[in-house]
Amino acid sequence: MFVSNHHGSYAPIVTLATFPMRLYPWVEHQTTDWKLCPDYLRKDFVEKELHLKPPLSKMTAWLISKACVILMKVIQAIPVYEKSMKLATTWKCSMKHLKRKESLIIFPENDAVPLNDVIHKFDQGFVGLAPVYYEKTGRMLDFVPVAVHKTEKVIKIGQPVSFNPKEKFSAERERIATALQNRITEMYSSIRSSGSKLLITQN
């Protein structure tokens, strides 16, 4: 499972477009729903990033939502249902891909909780997939940090953080999330100018 900083809509777009492997992203469930997508995009993208105001923002979001939902289906995005019984759907879809040795990518920053001048604090719910994966397969799940630098047009991939099933889960959840936050921050800060071409480097 790759874990990346968000950079608004930039990181999800460039990672899916440029990674040398197929990735299956976790996405907000609203972006996969015809009814919920327009209002979600209006608040989270059109008004936030495009800086459009009503009524233009509402119309623009409605138009974009049609392409968005279709795209989510095409790339087989995994809808995430936070604090809902439907979270089991997220786990089921994720496990299907992991058992096939396919890679997931998530962007777990909580925009309401800044961590430093690079990223926001991670929502730690994604770590809950690790014990499920271990129970089903007997293997440890690796979380691979990814730093996306919009200005320098560089993606940097770091060393993985592995789940340890012998430790108490609450401690593991905190350890893994903190390690990923720190590694992404360090990689982001270390990125140097690479010109106009998007580069992917491994740390």
**Is residue 106 within 8 Å of residue 2, measured between CB atoms?**
yes
Stated pTM of the model: 0.91
Residue 138: the pLDDT is 95
Mean pLDDT of 54-71: 96
Mean pLDDT of 60-78: 96
Mean of per-residue pLDDT scores for the chain:
92
Residue 116: both structure tokens together: 């430093």
Tens-place pLDDT, residues 78-122: 999 977 788 889 999 999 999 999 999 999 999 889 999 899 999
Nearest to 106, CA basis, from 50, 26, 193, 18: 26
Residue 194: the pLDDT is 55
Tens-place pLDDT, residues 34-49: 999 999 999 999 999 9
Which contacts (CB < 8 Å, 24+ apart) does range 76-79 have? 76/24, 77/24, 77/25, 77/26, 77/27, 77/31, 77/32, 78/24, 78/25, 78/26, 78/27, 78/104, 79/27, 79/28, 79/29, 79/31, 79/32, 79/33
Q: pLDDT confidence of 181, banded at 50, 70, 90?
A: very high
Taking the domains of the chain in order of start, what are their residue ranges?
A: 2-22+102-202
Residue 196: the pLDDT is 47
Residue 82: the pLDDT is 77
